[in-house]
Homo-oligomer: A and B are copies of this chain.
Amino acid sequence: MKIGIYGYGNLGRGVENAITRNADMELAAVFTRRDPASLKIATTNVPVVAAAELPQWTDRIDVLVLCGGSATDLPTMTPELAKRFHVVDSYDNHSKIPVHYANVDATAKESGHVALISCGWDPGMFSLNRVYAEAALPDGSNYTFWGRGVSQGHSDAIRRIEGVVDARQYTVPVPEALERVRSGENPQLTTRQKHKRECYVVAAEGADLEAIRQTIVTMPGYFADYDTTVEFITMEELRRNHSDLPHGGSVIRTGVTGINGEHHQCIEYSLRLDSNPEFTGSVLAAFCRAVDRMAKRGECGCKTVFDIAPVDVSPIPREELIAHML
């Protein structure tokens, strides 16, 4: 299976690493909107190609992984590239997924390609687990907790504040909330009760630290609804202690069975990730396999993780899965 990667940021590098760990995949090329000569990739003997040359690669790539951002790249990139390639993206703007789906489905169906959107871990593996768990326990509630982990969006929001040089924001689930959910108490939790936010900020020399702190903790949409702590650190501390991108979280469903609902049942799916982009890249690579198989069966249109049978994600032949993994 020949995989192309479009975009060589953290996620693109994560996909590249995953390809080296899957014997049935090979990296065909990395495409970039930057000057290809300026890009040094980890894999040897694989070309870095200008994005403009993509149309000449249609016969040399089975699946193209789109590693652009959800805010401005993917909404146009995915429908456009689905005209020529079978593609996978990690579009994660949950509220706008139906619009993205419709746009991608239109061009993928017209051109006869398979386009898997919103793959990764949330959306992705967490979504799968929400659906399976709700089907298995119809009388119950779903809870999703994120972290402890670095939120890139929230870190960026802090960096845009005047006087801030750099910042790292951790999303942290509130332990008491997790405990209440796991106990089967089925609590109604506010935003503030579920997660807190820890910010590590490098301020410019002479900056008004109290003003920065106030701007952060009152920022609507990002921090105002949370208990937020702000700690000012040096650039050296940031580099030493906060250069990784760990993340994770849990999807929990608690529900009841029994004639009087007397039996509590709890399903929990948890991730503890040292590297968020590398795990996301790994999931994308696994689902490339499913996209390639669907494409070879002649399917087309926009797909989600919900549409894919587990057998298509696995490198192991079906007979072996039945014999050894069931």
Q: Is the CB of B306 within 8 A of A282?
A: no
How distant is the Cα of A17 from the Cα of B309 in the complex, in angstroms? 27
Among candidates B139, B268, B278, B318, residue contacting A269 with C-beta atoms closer than 8 Å: B268
1/0 per residue, CB under 8 A from B, across A307-326: the answer is 11111011110110111011
Does A259 lie at the interface of the complex (its beta carbon under 8 Å from any beta carbon of B)?
Answer: yes
Instruction: Name the CB-closest residue of B to A130.
Output: B325
In the bound complex, residues from chain B placing their C-beta under 8 Å from that of A18 are 138, 257
Q: Is the CB of B314 within 8 A of A307?
A: no
In the bound complex, residues from chain B placing their C-beta under 8 Å from that of A77 are none
In the bound complex, residues from chain B placing their C-beta under 8 Å from that of A309 are 306-309
Does A111 lie at the interface of the complex (its beta carbon under 8 Å from any beta carbon of B)?
Answer: no
Among candidates B17, B131, B314, B326, residue contacting A325 with C-beta atoms closer than 8 Å: B131
In the bound complex, residues from chain B placing their C-beta under 8 Å from that of A123 are 326
In the bound complex, residues from chain B placing their C-beta under 8 Å from that of A131 are 310-311, 313-314, 316, 321, 325
Q: Which of A130, A274, A316, A318 counts the most chain B CB atoms within 10 A?
A: A274
Q: Is the CB of B305 within 8 A of A310?
A: yes
A93-101, A155-163, A197-205, A211-219: which one contacts chain B? A93-101
Instruction: Name the CB-closest residue of B to A122.
Output: B326
Does A60 lie at the interface of the complex (its beta carbon under 8 Å from any beta carbon of B)?
Answer: no
Q: Is the CB of A304 within 8 A of B322?
A: yes
- The answer to whether A268 and B270 touch (CB under 8 A), given A17-B259, A322-B98, is yes
Does A1 lie at the interface of the complex (its beta carbon under 8 Å from any beta carbon of B)?
Answer: no
Does A71 lie at the interface of the complex (its beta carbon under 8 Å from any beta carbon of B)?
Answer: no
How distant is the Cα of A23 from the Cα of B84 in the complex, in angstroms? 43
In the bound complex, residues from chain B placing their C-beta under 8 Å from that of A128 are 132, 310
Q: Is the CB of B139 within 8 A of A21?
A: yes
How distant is the Cα of A118 from the Cα of B310 in the complex, in angstroms? 15
> Which range holds the interface residue count of chain A?
35 or more
Q: Is the CB of A322 within 8 A of B97?
A: yes
Query: Shortest CB–CB separation between residue A26 and chain B, in angstroms?
Result: 14
In the bound complex, residues from chain B placing their C-beta under 8 Å from that of A132 are 125, 128, 310, 313
Does A136 lie at the interface of the complex (its beta carbon under 8 Å from any beta carbon of B)?
Answer: yes
1/0 per residue, CB under 8 A from B, across A264-293: the answer is 111111111111001101110010010000
Within 8 A of B (CB), among A102-125: 118, 123, 125
Q: Is the CB of B125 within 8 A of A136?
A: yes
- The answer to whether A282 and B137 touch (CB under 8 A), given A131-B310, A274-B264, is yes
Within 8 A of B (CB), among A169-219: 182
Among candidates B129, B136, B311, residue contacting A279 with C-beta atoms closer than 8 Å: B136
Binding site for B on A (CB under 8 A): 14, 17-18, 21-22, 42, 94, 97-98, 101, 118, 123, 125, 127-132, 134-139, 182, 257-259, 262-275, 278-279, 281-283, 286, 289, 304-311, 313-316, 318-319, 321-323, 325-326
10 contacts between A and B (CB under 8 A): A98-B322, A128-B310, A131-B310, A135-B310, A257-B278, A258-B278, A264-B274, A266-B273, A267-B270, A308-B310
